[in-house]
Structure 1
Amino acid sequence: MEPHSAHPWLTMKDLPESERPRERLIQHGPGVLSTAELLAILLRTGRRGENALHLAHRVLQACGGLAGLARTPTHELARIPGVGLAKAAQIHAALELGRRVAAATPGERPQIRSAHDAYLLLADMADLEQETLRVLLLDTRGRVLAAPTIYVGNVNTTLVRPAEIFREAIRRNAVSMILAHNHPSGDPTPSPEDIALTRDLVAAGQLLGIRVLDHLIIGRGQYTSLREHGVAFPTA
C-alpha cells in the first residue's frame, strides 16, 4: 500500500515509518515492496516538491514499466527531471546485477527464443561510448550460460580473432552463441566489416560444432539482426 504516493510534496521523513520503503524492506523483506518502492530506495531522494516514491512512479510511467526501464539507455533515463546521471547509473547498476544473478543461477537462466529476447538482455550496450563485442553463450535449451565481453574497440575482422570468442564458448560448454556489438553512432546498420566478421565466425562455428545463431548490431533504442535480414548466414 502506498497511500501517500498521491502527495508528492510529503518528504519520505513525513511518512509514517511503517510506510517508508526502506524501513518496510528492513522489516518485511524486499518481496512485499512494489516496484515503485524498490525503485524509490535506489533513487534515495526526489526533487523539490516531489519525494522519491512519487519520482519512482513517474520514472516507471515514462519508461513504460520495469521492462521499459531496463531497455532505457542511461543517458536517456538521466534526462527525466529529478533523475540525472548519478541516479540513472545506480538504477542500471542494480538492473545489471539482477541480470548477472539470473545468468549465474542454472534454474533461472533467461532463455533466448528470438533475436528480440537477446536484444532485451543487451539493450544497455547502446549506451557504451566504445564499440564493444559481447557474446551470449547458450546451452542446449537456449538458456544463457554467460555473456562475456570479448573485445572493446574497433570491431572488425583484422582485430577480432575467432579463437578468443570460441575459447570462452568451449570453456563454458556452450552449444551455440549469439554475437552482439554496439554502434556508438546509434545507427544499427551493419557495415561490410560486420558482415565479413559474421561470415568468418559462422564458418568457424561450423568447424567447431558451436552454432553462431545470430549477430545483433545494437543502436540507440533499436537493433539489427543479421540473421533476420538474411545477411551473412546460410539461407538453407
Structure 2
Amino acid sequence: MPNSSNSTYTTLIRDLPEGERPRERLAKYGVSALSNPELIAILLRTGMKGESVLNMSYRLVSEFGGFEKMGQASFTQLCSQDGISEAKACQLLAAFELGRRLISLSPKERTTINSPRDVYNLLGADMRYRDQEHLRVLLVSTNSEVVGNLEIYKGTVNSAAVRVAEVLKPAVLENVPSIIVVHNHPSGDPSPSGPDIMITRQIKQAAELLDIELLDHIVIGGGTFVSMKDRGLGFPS
C-alpha cells in the first residue's frame, strides 16, 4: 500500500522560484540540460506537505542509490516511498519502461572514453561553435563508459561563477566513480585560461574528498581541443 503521508500534496512546480522550475528550464535550455531528478519532477508534478516536488525527486534518486537503480524499482518499492502514490508510481514505471523499449528498438552501445579525442568526438560537433561558454560533465563508469552527459552551466566559466558542488552533484547522486569536465571557448581558441586552471584545480581537490576521480578537463574551441590533464594544467604531476 502507498505510504500514508501521500494524502496531502501542497507544493506544485509552479510554486518553485522561476529559475528552479524544471519545465521552464527545459523550455529555455533544452531537455538535455536537465538532471535526472529534474526530469522526474516533471513526471511527478507535485510534491507533498513540507517538501517540494524537486526536493522529493532528489531524495528519491538518493534513497534508491542512483537513477539506474531507481529505474529498476518495483511498483511496491516506489509506493513505499514518502510522497509516492499508486498513480505516481505508475507514471514513473511507464516512463522507465518507455525508455527501455526505445533502447531495445534502436540498440546502441554506450560511448567508451579511452582518450581526449573520444571526448571531442562525442561533444565537439555540438560545442565547438556555441556563442556562449557551456560547461558539461560526463559521468564515467568503471568500464570507461559514459553513463551521463549533463550541462551544468552556461555563461563565463570561472571559479567565481561555477559552483564546484554543482559540478560534482550528478556524480554523487548517480554513484559513479569518475567524471570528465568539458567546456568550450566561443573565441575558437581552446587554450586554457587562468580561470580554467583554477576551477579545474578546485574541482579535482573537491572530487578527491568525495572519492571521485576527475579524469580530465577538455576545452573545445573551433575545430580542435585541449586536454588539460595532458598539459598538466590543474592536475598535479
- SS at the partner of 1:218? strand
Distance, in Å, in 2 between the alignment partners of 1:150 and 1:156 is 13
Which residue of 1 is the match for residue 138 of structure 2? 136
Conserved in 2, the CA contact under 8 Å of 1:139 and 1:173?
no
Q: Give CA deviations for 1:153-205 in whole Å, capped at 9, x if unaligned.
A: 01100111111111111122211011010000000010000000000000011
How is 1:1-236 mapped onto 2 (pairs within 5 angstroms)? 108-123=109-124, 124-235=126-237
Q: CA deviation at 1:213?
A: 0.6
The number of residues matched between the two structures is: 133
- SS at the partner of 1:156? coil
Residue 106 and residue 179 in structure 1: after superposition, are their counterparts in 2 closer, same or farther (change >3 A)? farther
Dislocated runs of 4+, deviation >3 Å: none
Which residue of 1 is the match for residue 67 of structure 2? none
Residue 202 and residue 129 in structure 1: after superposition, are their counterparts in 2 closer, same or farther (change >3 A)? same
Q: CA deviation at 1:127?
A: 1.6
**Seq. identity, %:** 46
Which residue of 2 is the match for residue 39 of structure 1? none
Distance, in Å, in 1 between the alignment partners of 2:224 and 2:122 is 13
> Runs of 5+ in structure 1 lacking a partner?
1-100
Which residue of 1 is the match for residue 64 of structure 2? none
Letter in 1 for 2:146: V
- SS at the partner of 2:214? strand
Letter in 2 for 1:121: L
Residue 106 and residue 209 in structure 1: after superposition, are their counterparts in 2 closer, same or farther (change >3 A)? farther
Q: Quick check: 177-186 or 107-116, which moved more?
A: 107-116
Higher RCO, 1 or 2 (CA under 8 Å, sep at least 6)? 2
Q: Give CA deviations for 1:8-64 in whole Å, capped at 9, x if unaligned.
A: xxxxxxxxxxxxxxxxxxxxxxxxxxxxxxxxxxxxxxxxxxxxxxxxxxxxxxxxx
Conserved in 2, the CA contact under 8 Å of 1:181 and 1:216?
yes
Distance, in Å, in 2 between the alignment partners of 1:208 and 1:106 is 34
Distance, in Å, in 2 between the alignment partners of 1:230 and 1:143 is 24
Residue 106 and residue 176 in structure 1: after superposition, are their counterparts in 2 closer, same or farther (change >3 A)? farther
Letter in 2 for 1:120: N
TM-score, normalised to structure 2, is 0.54
CA RMSD of aligned residues (A): 1.8
> Runs of 5+ in structure 2 lacking a partner?
1-101
